[in-house]
């Protein structure tokens, strides 16, 4: 009999306080990697039955919802609109957008990139879900958590770990952060070959071509009363999108229809999605992004092996916290469903690889190691709230594609780590 996972549901009044109410005319998924975590899509039933016992969890997560990471887009737009206003060619719509920028600036007020109330709520709820999935495992024992040095990531770790301690006063949680974890969690800033690809790779020409051919000028042009240079307007349109897509996570009213048609907004998402795909996943241009996560995947393999071999003592979980730039390459290297599309042209990739599926705010993968009555080990993988079947062949005799012998998936992942 499958076990029902139960977890606390926050009071409606608390949710109203965190998430502003407003009509949504566009699909929220078009906010891409700035889309808050969608709890409505979370599975509530564990895929294993009572014959199996959870013995260890591995967890890798992106930080929760945040304010815009920097003021660059806001300042660039403010500069252009302020100039237009002073010289008399700012439109009424431009005046409105200037007010929006001021509200973003005011709400953020020195907290650029910081985890906000939405992000804290996400991590509290994700922590409750984790405790509900393996309640007996997390009643006691030790959990180790590590995070990059970036404050929003550190706070994400603390919020989730705090929820685990609320679940049980007998659990021991140790949390560490710092630059010593950069090779594992910030490989995008330490792997020289990958950094070179990010800065000078062949993907740049394909991305620039997509932007030149597809990104609309109308959203930015509507802010001015005189005709502006198309190339400059495309850049400002993408900056506008970067600001508007961040509004739900910042608890500001999201009204994209005031500035974009839905097709224009979708095209901006497609441009951002394409850039993420080329930079952070395996593509026809390079497998370097995925390969750069090998140290991280090897750590997941090693800790799972130790638990399966009984060498972890009272350690019952290893939690890691990083960035979108951490999880997207890792998920590609693991070849998780929807996260690995090594071929595809610029104009078709948005139908195959979607950044809002791969790495919404709070994105995570949890790998639960299970032991059956005969002593054999299995794993179940929960990606962004959903238990997944792996896209490569499942072993014969497995009762469910969501409960896979560890020795099988271990072999696959080791082979992925060894590929050049």
* pTM of the model as a whole: 0.92
CA distance 119 to 246: 13
Residue 199 is predicted with a pLDDT of 97
Note the pLDDT tens digit of each residue in 224-258.
Answer: 999 999 999 999 999 999 999 999 999 899 999 99
**DSSP summary character for residue 216:** -
| CA neighbours closer than 13 Å in the CB half-sphere of residue 13 | 0
More confident residue, 175 or 23: 175
CA distance 179 to 187: 11
Q: Strand 52-62 to strand 315-322: parallel, antiparallel, or no bridges (unpaired)?
A: parallel
The CATH code for residues 12-418 is 3.40.50.1240
Place 88 in a pLDDT band, splitting at 50, 70 and 90: very high
Residue 55, pLDDT above cutoff 90: yes
Place 17 in a pLDDT band, splitting at 50, 70 and 90: very low
CB 61, CB 319: distance < 8 Å: yes
Residue 294, pLDDT above cutoff 80: yes
CA distance 174 to 159: 13
Nearest to 137 by CA among 296, 362, 366: 366
Residue 390 is predicted with a pLDDT of 83
Place 398 in a pLDDT band, splitting at 50, 70 and 90: very low
State whether the Cα torsion 233-22-250-349 is positive or negative: negative
On average, the pLDDT of the chain sits at 92
Which structure tokens are listed for 43? 């599975």
Residue 107 is predicted with a pLDDT of 87
Nearest to 122 by CA among 38, 59, 7, 5: 38
More confident residue, 13 or 89: 89
CA distance 194 to 200: 10
Report the chain's terminal Cα–Cα distance, integer Å.
43
Residue 22 is predicted with a pLDDT of 42
Report the percent of the chain where pLDDT is more than 90.
Answer: 86
Residue 400 is predicted with a pLDDT of 55
Burial code of 148-164, b = ≥16 C-beta within 10 A, e = fewer? bebbbbbbbbbbbbbbb
Residue 278, pLDDT above cutoff 80: yes
**Residue in this structure with the two tokens 């949390």, named with its chain if needed:** 175
Q: What is the arithmetic mean of pLDDT over 266-283?
A: 98
Q: What is the arithmetic mean of pLDDT over 109-120?
A: 92
Place 1 in a pLDDT band, splitting at 50, 70 and 90: very low
Residue 2, pLDDT above cutoff 80: no
Q: Which long-range contacts (CB under 8 A, 24 or more apart) does 138-141 make?
A: 138/164, 138/167, 138/168, 138/171, 138/316, 138/317, 139/167, 139/168, 139/170, 139/171, 140/168, 140/170, 140/171, 140/314, 141/171, 141/172, 141/314, 141/315, 141/316, 141/317
Residue 391 is predicted with a pLDDT of 65
Residue 44 is predicted with a pLDDT of 78
Note the pLDDT tens digit of each residue in 135-194.
Answer: 999 999 999 999 999 999 999 999 999 999 999 999 999 999 999 999 999 999 999 999
Note the pLDDT tens digit of each residue in 316-371.
Answer: 999 999 999 999 999 999 999 999 999 988 999 999 999 999 999 999 999 999 99
**Residue in this structure with the two tokens 């005189």, named with its chain if needed:** 226
State whether the Cα torsion 329-332-337-340 is positive or negative: positive
Angle, to 10 degrees, between the axis of helix 230-244 and the axis of helix 262-280? 90
């Amino acid at each position: 009999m499958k076990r029902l996972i139960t977890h606390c549901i926050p009071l409606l009044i608390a949710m109203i306080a965190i998430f502003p109410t407003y009509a949504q005319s566009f699909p929220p998924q078009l906010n891409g990697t700035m889309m808050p975590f969608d709890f409505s899509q979370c599975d509530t039933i564990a895929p294993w039955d009572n014959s199996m016992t959870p013995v260890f969890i591995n967890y890798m997560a992106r930080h929760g919802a945040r304010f815009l990471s920097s003021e660059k887009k806001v300042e660039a737009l403010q500069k252009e609109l302020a100039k237009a206003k002073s010289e008399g060619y700012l439109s009424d719509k431009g005046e409105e957008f200037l007010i929006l920028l001021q509200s973003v600036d005011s709400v953020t007020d020195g907290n650029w990139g910081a985890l906000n109330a939405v992000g804290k709520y996400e991590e509290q709820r994700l922590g409750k879900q984790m405790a509900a999935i393996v309640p007996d495992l997390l009643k006691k024992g030790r959990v180790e958590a590590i995070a990059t040095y970036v404050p929003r990531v550190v706070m994400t770790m603390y919020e989730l770990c705090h929820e685990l301690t609320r679940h049980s006063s007998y659990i021991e949680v140790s949390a560490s952060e710092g630059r010593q974890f950069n090779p594992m969690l910030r490989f995008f800033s330490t792997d020289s070959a990958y950094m070179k690809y990010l800065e000078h790779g062949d993907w740049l020409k394909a991305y620039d071509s997509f932007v030149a051919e597809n990104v609309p000028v109308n959203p930015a042009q509507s802010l001015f009363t005189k005709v502006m240079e198309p190339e400059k307007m495309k850049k400002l349109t993408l900056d506008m999108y970067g600001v508007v897509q961040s509004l739900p996570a910042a608890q500001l009213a999201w009204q994209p229809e005031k500035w974009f048609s839905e097709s224009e907004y979708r095209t901006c998402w497609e441009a951002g999605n394409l850039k993420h795909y080329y930079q952070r996943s395996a593509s026809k241009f390079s497998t370097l992004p995925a390969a750069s996560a090998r140290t991280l995947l090897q750590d997941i393999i090693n800790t799972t092996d130790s638990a399966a071999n009984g060498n972890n003592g009272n350690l019952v979980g290893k939690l890691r916290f990083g960035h979108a730039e951490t999880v997207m390459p890792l998920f590609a290297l693991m070849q998780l469903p929807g996260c690995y599309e090594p071929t595809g042209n610029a104009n078709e990739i948005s139908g195959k690889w979607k950044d809002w599926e791969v790495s919404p705010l709070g994105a995570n993968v949890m790998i639960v190691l299970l032991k059956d009555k005969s002593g054999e080990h299995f794993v179940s993988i929960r990606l962004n709230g959903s238990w997944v079947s792996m896209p490569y062949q499942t072993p014969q005799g497995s009762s469910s594609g969501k409960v896979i012998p560890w020795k099988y998936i271990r072999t696959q992942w080791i082979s992925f780590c060894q590929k050049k």
